[in-house]
């Protein structure tokens, strides 16, 4: 899921200088699960901001809200009135949620309360680590289920590099060398022949390096054409 971390409260407070009615909006999906922007964290931020407001006589009126998934318009629409009434909305969702609100109400001031960090998994309660870089061209078949793009510091396609020592990465000695792990994994799966095969260079145009990505599924479009029957450009 998407992992984020709340910005320092002092940083958020600076964004709200001069505001009066402030709406905090959290999300119940990814950021709730990584304990950054769920209802609990919204309450925590509200308590801290109220402390600042009381102490510095800023007169902030803080309202707390949470939507199911902030990146979907229907869920955001449910709190439309609150957004309109507020002088500023602080989104505690990932960058997607913050932008969704802002795109829907472009004249309103919508600020990010989180730093969206990475796509990650919970290793154990309280520990999240990055495992996928959304490169658009998944090679997990060839690497026994270990992503060389996200977990190798050099994103090597044919690893390991010469710096791999004692199964650790030379860039960060605490990180396991992804390719050492891939070797062990393929060995367990009796697919070591894949290590010998040389892979072609990756097509990075499918990743973010190729520009902002968009997927259009023609079979799912509800309005593929306009009233005259002409295909709508997307």
Positions that interact with another protein (CB under 8 A): 8-10, 13, 28-29, 32-33, 35, 38-41, 43-44, 47-48, 50-52, 54-55, 66, 123-125
Kindly state the smallest distance separating residue 105's Cβ from another protein, in Å.
25
Kindly state the smallest distance separating residue 89's Cβ from another protein, in Å.
20
Nearer to another protein, 54 or 137 (CB): 54
Kindly state the smallest distance separating residue 42's Cβ from another protein, in Å.
9
Nearer to another protein, 46 or 104 (CB): 46
Nearer to another protein, 39 or 61 (CB): 39
Nearer to another protein, 13 or 156 (CB): 13
- The total of other beta-carbon atoms located within 10 Å of residue 150's CB is 18
Kindly state the smallest distance separating residue 46's Cβ from another protein, in Å.
8
Nearer to another protein, 11 or 203 (CB): 11
Nearer to another protein, 92 or 149 (CB): 92
- Ordered strands of the 61-67 beta sheet: 61-67, 21-27, 88-91, 109-112
> Residue by residue, what is the 3-state secondary structure of the chain?
CEEEEECCHHHHHHHCCCCCEEEEEEECCHHHHCCCCCHHHHHHHHHHHHHHHHHHCCCCEEEEEEECCCCCHHHHHCCHHHHHHCCEEEECCCHHHHHHHHHHCCCCEEEECEEEEEEEEEEECCEEEEEECCCCCCCCCCCCCCCHHHHCCCCCCCCCCCCCECCECCCCCCCECHHHHHHHHHHHCCCCHHHHCCCCCCCHHHCHHHCCCCCCCHHHCCCCECCCCCECCC
Question: Widest CA span of the chain, in angstroms?
Answer: 69
Kindly state the smallest distance separating residue 176's Cβ from another protein, in Å.
14
Kindly state the smallest distance separating residue 39's Cβ from another protein, in Å.
5
């Amino acid at each position: 899921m998407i992992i984020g971390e709340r910005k320092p409260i002092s940083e958020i407070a600076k964004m709200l200088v001069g505001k009066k009615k402030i709406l905090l909006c959290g999300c119940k999906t990814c950021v709730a699960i990584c304990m950054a922007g769920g209802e609990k964290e919204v309450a925590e931020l509200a308590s801290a901001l109220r402390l600042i407001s009381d102490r510095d006589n800023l007169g902030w009126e803080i309202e707390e809200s949470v939507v199911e998934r902030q990146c979907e318009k229907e869920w955001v629409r449910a709190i439309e009135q609150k957004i309109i009434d507020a002088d500023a909305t602080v989104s505690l969702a990932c960058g997607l949620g913050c932008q969704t609100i802002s795109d829907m109400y472009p004249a309103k001031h919508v600020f990010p309360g989180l730093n969206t960090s990475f796509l990650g998994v919970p290793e154990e309660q309280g520990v999240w680590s990055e495992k996928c870089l959304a490169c658009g061209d998944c090679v997990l078949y060839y690497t026994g289920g270990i992503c060389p793009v996200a977990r190798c510091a050099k994103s090597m396609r044919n690893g390991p590099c010469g710096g791999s020592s004692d199964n650790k990465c030379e860039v960060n000695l605490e990180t396991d060398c992804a390719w050492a792990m891939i070797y062990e994994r393929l060995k367990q799966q009796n697919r070591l022949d894949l290590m010998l095969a040389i892979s072609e260079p990756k097509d990075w145009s499918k990743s973010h390096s190729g520009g902002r990505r968009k997927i259009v599924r023609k079979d799912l479009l509800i309005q593929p054409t306009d009233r005259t029957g002409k295909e709508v450009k997307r």
